[in-house]
């Protein structure tokens, strides 16, 4: 699935290979690279998915279905371009399959070896993150939030939004979306500050659902004043703030490709100073319930407090800025260049 397609197919289904692309799973990217047929429904072959376009899915045939005819053959040439509504097209496809004569060969015959290969990739190249005793790892925070929501049977009634950056990719990787319209992110638009306002809109439209903005300190700061709207309009939006005091995704590129030369990506007041800005004090000023944690031992308790809060809530989770979103296919490169560690 693409970033914006998460939730369109249950992530916990054994056929789900999760997200592909620059920060997609290794097994998803391997499968796309080796597949002999790619059904691309409602996608636009964004550069964050394809990497080097000429090398993307070059071994297989591509069927591209899209409601916007301008997307067909625009970036990646399709062997079979189809202009149409995906809902109607899939209904037609199912009818064609059902109309096949009795005794026709199984459409899944001969796929056993392929499934075994994919399962091998999934088993040997899973998403990885290691917990630390001295710091809260952002991936672990998101994973534990998902697990706690699942334990409470709240997943289908939870909507997650994000800003833009590392936290966005961590959420896409470690929060397993099983239902459509439970994931709202700005995707290719790259709109920092998107998380809180979109969560407010989702909450207003779905007052009985739990809405959580997974955000980073850089993105969250851009629309922090909307906490006032949450309070005055009684919107019980939750904010899981993964606060590493940096513009994390830019820092990652600085570390990986520019010898860690910093270009105004540190947002704090000094490494020997308390967190800056003080989001807890800011939230209190808006009369929004809040808490800051730094110790991994406090993570579960704080997440439960956030999930069960009746009004708007800001959980400020201090995380190390050294964490990188992996795997990563560098811009313009191919799956063969994937960075795993």
**Model confidence at 187: pLDDT above 90:** no
**Residue 337: inside a domain, yes or no?**
no
Q: What is the mean pLDDT of residues 231-239?
A: 98
Boundary-marking domain end, from 69, 98, 126: 126
**Model confidence at 109: pLDDT above 90:** no
Task: Say whether both 172 and 105 belong to one domain.
Answer: no
Q: What is the mean pLDDT of residues 128-144?
A: 97
pLDDT tens per residue, range 189-204? 889 999 999 999 999 9
Q: What is the pLDDT of residue 107?
A: 86
**Model confidence at 207: pLDDT above 90:** yes
User: Which of the pair, 184 or 189, is modelled with greater confidence?
Assistant: 184
Q: What is the pLDDT of residue 327?
A: 98
Are 24 and 170 a contacting pair, CB within 8 Å? no
Domain of 103, in residue numbers: 3-126
Are 132 and 296 a contacting pair, CB within 8 Å? yes
Boundary-marking domain end, from 126, 155, 172: 126
**Residue 133: inside a domain, yes or no?**
no
The average confidence (pLDDT) of the chain is 96
- CATH number of the domain that residue 21 is part of: 3.40.50.1220
Task: Say whether both 234 and 284 belong to one domain.
Answer: yes
Q: What is the pLDDT of residue 213?
A: 98
Q: Give the three-state DSSP class for 122.
A: helix
**Residue 324: inside a domain, yes or no?**
no
Q: What is the pLDDT of residue 190?
A: 86
| Whether the model pTM is above 0.85 | yes
Q: What is the mean pLDDT of residues 242-270?
A: 97
**Residue 335: inside a domain, yes or no?**
no
Q: What percent of the chain has pLDDT over 90?
A: 96
Task: Say whether both 111 and 145 belong to one domain.
Answer: no
**Residue 261: inside a domain, yes or no?**
yes
**Model confidence at 188: pLDDT above 90:** no
**Model confidence at 62: pLDDT above 90:** yes
> What is d(CA 208, CA 157) in angstroms, rounded to the nearest whole number?
8
Q: Which has the closest alpha carbon to 11: 21, 23, 25, 22? A: 25
Q: What is the pLDDT of residue 199?
A: 98
Q: What is the pLDDT of residue 105?
A: 87
Q: What is the pLDDT of residue 263?
A: 96
Q: Which has the closest alpha carbon to 236: 207, 272, 198, 195? A: 207
Task: Say whether both 169 and 305 belong to one domain.
Answer: yes
> What is d(CA 144, CA 141) in angstroms, rounded to the nearest whole number?
5
Q: What is the pLDDT of residue 256?
A: 97
Q: Which has the closest alpha carbon to 216: 144, 134, 317? A: 317
Q: What is the pLDDT of residue 298?
A: 98
pLDDT tens per residue, range 17-53? 999 999 999 999 999 999 999 999 999 999 999 999 9
Pairing type for strands 289-293 and 313-318 reads parallel
Boundary-marking domain end, from 105, 126, 147: 126
Task: Classify each residue of 36-68 as buried b or exposed e, where b means 16 or more C-beta atoms within 10 Å of its C-beta.
Answer: eebebebbbbebbbbbbbeebbeeeebebbbee
Q: Which has the closest alpha carbon to 142: 184, 172, 180, 163? A: 172
**Residue 174: inside a domain, yes or no?**
yes
Q: Which has the closest alpha carbon to 240: 177, 326, 149? A: 149
- The number of folded domains in the chain is 2
Q: What is the pLDDT of residue 106?
A: 87
Q: How confident is the model at residue 1 (pLDDT cuts 50, 70, 90)?
A: very high
Are 286 and 226 a contacting pair, CB within 8 Å? no
**Model confidence at 226: pLDDT above 90:** yes
**Residue 329: inside a domain, yes or no?**
no
């Amino acid at each position: 699935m693409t970033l914006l397609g998460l939730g369109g197919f249950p992530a916990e289904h054994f056929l789900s290979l999760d997200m592909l692309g620059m920060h997609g799973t290794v097994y998803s990217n391997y499968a796309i690279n080796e597949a002999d047929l790619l059904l691309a429904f409602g996608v636009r072959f964004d550069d964050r998915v394809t990497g080097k376009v000429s090398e993307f899915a070059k071994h297989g045939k591509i069927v591209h279905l899209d409601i916007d005819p301008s997307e067909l053959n625009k970036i990646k040439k399709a062997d079979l371009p189809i202009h149409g509504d995906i809902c109607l097209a899939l209904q037609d496809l199912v009818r064609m399959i059902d109309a096949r004569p009795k005794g026709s060969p199984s459409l899944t015959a001969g796929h056993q070896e392929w499934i075994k290969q994919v399962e091998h990739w999934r088993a040997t190249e899973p998403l990885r993150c290691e917990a630390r005793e001295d710091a809260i790892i952002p991936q672990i925070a998101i994973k534990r939030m998902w697990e706690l929501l699942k334990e409470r049977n709240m997943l289908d009634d939870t909507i997650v939004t994000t800003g833009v950056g590392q936290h966005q990719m961590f959420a896409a990787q470690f929060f397993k979306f099983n239902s459509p319209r439970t994931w709202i992110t700005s995707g290719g638009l790259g709109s920092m500050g998107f998380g809180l306002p979109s969560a407010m809109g989702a909450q207003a439209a779905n007052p009985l659902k739990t809405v959580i903005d997974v955000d980073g300190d850089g993105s969250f700061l851009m629309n922090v004043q909307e906490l006032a709207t949450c309070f005055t309009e009684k919107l019980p939006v939750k904010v899981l703030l993964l606060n590493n005091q940096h513009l994390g995704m830019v820092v990652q590129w600085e570390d990986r490709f520019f010898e860690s030369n910093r270009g105004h990506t540190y947002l704090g007041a000094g490494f020997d100073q308390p967190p800056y800005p003080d989001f807890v004090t800011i939230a209190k000023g808006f009369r929004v319930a809040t808490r800051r944690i730094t110790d991994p031992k406090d993570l579960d308790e704080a997440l439960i407090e956030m999930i069960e809060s009746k009004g708007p809530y800001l959980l400020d989770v201090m995380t190390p800025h050294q964490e990188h979103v992996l795997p990563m296919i560098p811009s313009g490169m191919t799956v063969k260049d994937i960075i795993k560690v």
